[in-house]
Structure 1
């Protein structure tokens, strides 16, 4: 194991401190500037912060650098990479959210392309229709170049991961346990596939067992890693609705697959009633995410897209480009211009071009996906692009 940086060691130490959850960590770091500065602060200065009492101060003093070093050694022995907020490799979309995890454990590989990700959640006890729909959506979205994010739970989560894997795409699983625990245990094989074709991520330390209260906390990370969240099938008491609430708080898109009114889909129907975007297939999602995607402020500001612009019923030739280059957004135009006429270039070349880089990886990758959907770009083997 390489020598950890002081910033990483301090972040891990803070993450290990009992009684310091995401909100408390955000308050502490917001006040003092960094995890290292938190530990360097005097007891009296710590106690001046609202909500920080003797118990938290005592816990901070008892958690040592040695504890952090031991935790990093355990992670390294398990083949797990540990990232910290503000450090290299930390997902840029996740860094944007309130209470972003100070530490992220990664088994597998995170890539810049994962900035173009879509989450999918729903019932653990889903119907055959729900599982089939989740799998179909995930396959189509993965083929379009999006990374599929979910929680590796039974039901909809598992169907989403498997759909992405079947399409040869990437998928990320966000867990509510330490990296040395697979939950549910019957997903050990699925976990291995995900780690080999994406990554398993968690904010929880090694050895953390599954605990009911940690799953809602985990769900904010699922939304945070994604441009939007798809709710496939959920009742009113489904834990998946926590992910939807986090998505709205984080200004992410919320998409809902309609379900039967008598078949455990009350949560989906409530979300649609409150203004979430109804989708029927992957094209609906891709169209909504394209280029300058919306970042809604509240559920009431979300707009339904029932049948809008559906070429399948309009008689438009589906093989024709849907829009001319003159109708492209700024980021789409920059991405298209970065692909020379008559040449095939790698996605990395496009992403690193000065004109595209200014928009950030998330917007740039979504723009590339939109240009493919508009049939202005074509993806070739080796992750290369060429103009059509």
Structure 2
């Protein structure tokens, strides 16, 4: 799927993308009228003015700026590095799935295994401020689905995105012909954002793929991240929302997926958790409620031969009662008293009949074992 560009050809594409006033819709209109970008810059003002407003026609005919020339040179150097590629709308290697959406990117900067962009895939998205249980769910679902041959697509943000990428990478390492992971980012492909995901970005570039529609050097501008969500959903067969508040970027991705004809899945949660509100809203609107990775696989249907996971899956283990692993009856009774909704210490004391001092000690042990988490406000919630 390697794509080679002549310097002049690449320069014309970059010049078109960098021309003031030329967005995706205008660029597609120009390409439809005149063919490849090089033809656009050789067209007369009067011909251009029939397709675009006067100010854009003048901008297209203006001399190449020093800034754009520097970007062209920087991009050519970037493409010399192993694993780096650039696909334009005119390239045979451009993902067909994106050609089918309403506003496909003009260009895709790709770092890593570009062939993953044409593999069966599922987007996994959710909150940046995820709970411990949400992160565990994203990780486990992604690991199993990757083992079963699906490529996991996400946005390399903190929280659910990062957990999905980590799980997918681990799943890809555990099966012969597994999927892997694709990170669609909202910066230039030469920038890691957020910086704390630097190690993850290197792992994805090695075993997966990093994709951006933004030119090299583009910083983390807030407006770019919701826009990149259409690529996350567009590349995938479906979108799984793990945790999301009532108003969040994950719901934007889910809406785009529905508009693009993709399946939308959501994991339900506690009625008391703010991060379950978005998922419950989606389910009310027709998203498919899923409780296991198998639910997703059954909905997506066959996508080619895929290997079975090696050994017991972590998802299968996750449905075991934590009490089965508890060392004594006191833990079992406490976990039963906790239930699955957040509960205050006083209410837990009343339910269990255990004094607060003893409860604090027991809860600390359960928290260290990953069986309980403390939520804001000093309330406790059972995990698993």
Query: 8 Å contact 1:13–1:67 — kept in the other structure?
Result: no
Pairing 1:280-319 to 2, within 5 Å after superposition: 280-291=291-302
Deviation, 1:6, is 5.7
Per the alignment, residue 270 of structure 1 pairs with 281
1:217 is aligned to 2:227: yes
Q: Which residue of 2 aligns with 1:198?
A: 208
* Unpaired segments ≥5 residues, structure 1: 292-365, 380-388
Contact between 2:268 and 2:280, CA under 8 Å: does it hold in 1? yes
Q: Which has the larger radius of gyration?
A: 2
Query: What is the TM-score with the length of structure 1 in the denominator?
Result: 0.70
3-state SS in 1 of match to 2:183: strand
> C-alpha deviations, 1:303-356, integer Å up to 9, x for none?
xxxxxxxxxxxxxxxxxxxxxxxxxxxxxxxxxxxxxxxxxxxxxxxxxxxxxx
Tell whether 2:152 aligns with 1:142.
no
Query: How big is the shift at 1:15?
Result: 2.0
Aligned Cα root-mean-square deviation (Å) = 2.5
* Aligned pair partner of 2:23 in 21, 24, 28: 21
**Would the alpha carbon gap of residues 113 and 201 (structure 1) be closer, same or farther in structure 2, given more than 3 Å must change?**
closer
Is it true that 1:248 corresponds to 2:258 in the alignment? yes
1:28-81, CA deviations, whole angstroms, 9 ceiling, x for partnerless residues?
A: 3334444344334333333334xx323322332337495674243242255531
CA distance 1:241–1:43, change in 2 (3 Å): farther
2:126 to 122, 125, 138: 122
CA gap of 1:40–1:228, structure 2 versus 1, over 3 A, is farther
User: What is aligned with 1:53?
Assistant: 53
**Which residue, 98, 102, 116 being the options, matches 2:102?**
98
**Is contact 1:136-1:163 (8 Å) kept?**
yes
Alignment deviations for residues 139-191 of structure 1 (CA, whole Å, 9 cap, x no partner): 01000011110000011100000001122251110111012211001111000
Residue in structure 2 matched with residue 110 of structure 1 by the alignment: 114
In the alignment, is the contact (CA less than 8 A) between 2:88 and 2:107 conserved in 1?
A: yes
Gaps (5+ residues) in structure 2? 174-178, 311-384
Give the counterpart of 2:32 among 30, 33, 43.
30
Question: Conserved in 2, the CA contact under 8 Å of 1:123 and 1:156?
Answer: yes
Q: Give the TM-score, by structure 2 length.
A: 0.71
Provide closer, same or farther for how the CA distance between residues 73 and 7 of structure 1 changes in structure 2, counting only shifts above 3 A.
closer
Q: Does 1:230 align with 2:234?
A: no
What per-residue deviation string (whole Å, max 9, x for no partner) do you get for residues 72-116 of structure 1?
324225553111123143222222222111211111121167421
Alpha-carbon deviation of 1:3? 5.5
Cα displacement (A) at 1:126: 0.8
* Closer, same or farther: CA 9–252 of 1 in aligned 2, 3 Å: farther
Q: Give the aligned partner of residue 367 of structure 1.
A: 304
